[in-house]
Structure 1
Amino acid sequence: MSLDTRSVTLHLGLIAALIVLGFVLPTYHQGNLARILVLATYAVGYNVLFGYTGLLSLGHAMFFAAGMYGCGLAMHLGGVTVIPALVIGLICAAALSAVVALLALRTIGVAFMIVTLMFAQSVYLTALYLGEWTGGDEGFVIAQASRQIAGYALTDPLTRYYAALSLFAIALLITARMMQMSFGRVLIGVRENEERTRMLGYDVFRHKLAAVVISGTIAGAAGAGYAVLFGYVGATFASVQYSIFPLLWVLLGGMGTTIGPLVGVAFMFYLIDYASGITNAYMLIAGAVLVLLTLFARAGIVGEIRNRWAPWLP
């Protein structure tokens, strides 16, 4: 079986397993997994930039927030229905990522990281300053009556779960296919050795620009999906911590792996959920586990599995 065939089988098998889980999981875990799938979509977008292209961003929350506010405000203030609102969210995220890319890619290394952080803070402060419309720190709630597609209420746990799964599946399959194409292989070449990739005749800037836009658009899709599925939009999602989270999720799951983001988000989510049931100092337990994983599984969970036992994992 070729590597590409194994990759397709893995991804389709994972999606099929998640489809089946929707029918057997209790409502509580349906809700948890729906949230995990939306956040995993966000992590998939981050992985395109960090895991495959090697560009460390500390400002990805601005793209998540752009999609969230673009979609949420269109529904909340403009009375737009779900599908057009999602499109508006995607356009907002794509436009912002293109502008940020054109400016931030003038820098390299640590400077790129700092510039993305500065842009993200500007977006966060803008959301607070425009509190009359955005709700500021408190945010706003999208009316349940407007959160439906073709008569299916997204407030229903099962419908919400499969909507979240659809969002994640699209992002996963697009990313997996992209990494099998020459474009994705050039991104990996940029990560491994940018100068050599440039000497081979590839337009490195154009590929990095495309990577930022694709990454930001996927992150924006996750933000728009979160707004629609969970009915809440707030400035918290534009804060620094939501730029750090995808970095942690990708590192935990395995940077440069297609299913690593999902594994990282699920592991982190349930680790905190379990630890919070034991003690109020649950972040201490979570922190200790994260440190141990960083020390003994440096490639992340899926990355270590690939390195040790399954080198064919994409």
Structure 2
Amino acid sequence: MISRSLALHGGLIALLCVLQFVLPAYHHGNLARIMVLATYAGAYNIMFGYTGLLSLGHALFFAAGMYGMGLAMQHGGLSPAPAMAVGLLAGLAVSAVLGVLALRTAGVAFMIVTLMFAQAGYLAILYFGNWTRGDEGFVIQQAERALAGIDLSDPTNRYFAALVLFALGMGLTLRLVRSRFGRVLVAIRENEERTRMLGYDVFAHKLGAVILSGTLSAVAGAAYGLLFGYVGATFGAVQYSIFPLLWVLLGGAGTVIGPFLGTLFMFYLIDLSSGITSAYMLVAGVALVLLTLFAPQGLAGEIRARLWRWLP
């Protein structure tokens, strides 16, 4: 089972690597963007898919990483490598604080608290417009987007950087699934009270899941800002808390490959339908309803249920 799983996910990485050489420029850029967003969706999946914590505030973590990196470069004069570290630490700090406070609640209350924190973060971005440039955001100049001498504004370098990020994120999730910590998270999702009765520290494990998910989301946000050269308040708005939930539901919650499939499907569904009608989100909503009705476990979840039961 482990060898099959490694072959499948390794094959996906190899396929994405090969596609770099054959895709036209438009889809080449799209796929780089999808890989970064799929890393964000995979981070969300750690909380929602494996731990059962439904968050409506993940944009706070994504934006924390993006603005931590962007402001460190814009106002601190840091180079990309330490600026990325600042973004990671910002996500770590924000997720730790939110986790300690939000995990005092459960269920619907947890959803509302995470949403409130995310909205507070979004309003803070707008309020401190002198630093963040508010709704307008700011551009990271092409000359500044070089990491270890590699120009990340170059499409090929940007694609491979996104691929490395995606591979590391997926590898981390695979490792989590196989670990004792990951199995306890799944036990919490299935039956929290029984897990507590077995002697596990449920709060500590849930807090660990929030911090891990939030930090990986921040890394994805920092990478998105650096690779595509823009930091804006849109990425802290409520839609960027809803998007990862949709991507995970479509792809399959609690599966390693699901977030990528869901992000790929939704990205191109919106991209294609927006060329036909201005009501493209209605098309996306109909697709989501249909998938919920006929594939309630998501794309990868249905594959696991019907074909490959070993799929992690």
TM-score bracket relative to the smaller structure? over 0.9
Aligned structure 1 segments of 4 or more residues deviating by more than 3 angstroms: none
One-letter code aligned to 2:308:
A
Structure 1, residues 229-254: CA drift from partner, whole Å, max 9, x if none?
Answer: 01111111111110000000000000
- Measure, in 2, the Cα distance between the counterparts of 1:213 and 1:38: 19
Aligned to 2:221: 223
Q: Of residues 4, 7, 10 in structure 2, which corresponds to 1:9?
A: 7
Aligned pair partner of 1:236 in 223, 229, 234: 234
Q: Is the 8 A contact 1:160 1:229 kept in 2?
A: yes
Q: Match for residue 123 of structure 2?
A: 125
Give the letter aligned to residue 107 of structure 1.
T
Q: 8 Å contact 1:76–1:143 — kept in the other structure? A: no
Q: Which residue of structure 2 lines up, in the alignment, with residue 163 of structure 1?
A: 161
Q: In the alignment, residue 122 of structure 1 is paired with which amino acid?
A: A
Check if 1:289 corresponds to 2:250.
no
Does the 8 Å contact 1:4/1:180 carry over to 2? no
Aligned-residue offset at 1:310 = 1.1
| Structure 1 gap ranges (5+) | none
Give the drift of 1:309.
Answer: 1.1
**Cα distance in structure 1, aligned partners of 2:147 and 2:91:** 22
In structure 2, the partner of 1:107 is: 105
Q: Which moved more, 1:184-193 or 1:71-80?
A: 71-80
The equivalent of 2:90 in structure 1 is: 92
Note the C-alpha offset of 1:14.
1.0
CA contact 1:97–1:212 (8 Å) conserved in 2: yes
Shift of residue 152, structure 1, vs aligned partner: 1.9
C-alpha separation in 1, matches of 2:48 and 2:285: 22
Q: Secondary structure of the equivalent of 1:198?
A: helix
Counterpart residue number, 1:83: 81
Q: CA deviation at 1:99?
A: 0.5
Deviations 1:14-72 (A, max 9, x none): 11111111111111111000110010010000000000000000000000000000001
The equivalent residue for 2:68 is 70
Cα distance in 2 for partners of 1:45, 1:132 equals: 31
Distance 1:308 1:157 in 2: 38
CA distance in 1, matches of 2:245, 2:143: 35
Aligned length in residues: 312
Give the alignment of 1:239-250 within 5 angstroms. 239-250=237-248
3-state SS of paired residue (2:20) = helix
- Structure 1 position 33 matched with structure 2 position 57: no
Q: 2:186 is matched with which residue?
A: 188
The one-letter code matched in structure 2 to 1:12 is G
Q: Once the 2 structures are TM-superposed, how far is the Cα of residue 210 of structure 1 from its aligned partner?
A: 0.2
Q: Percent identity among equivalent residues?
A: 68
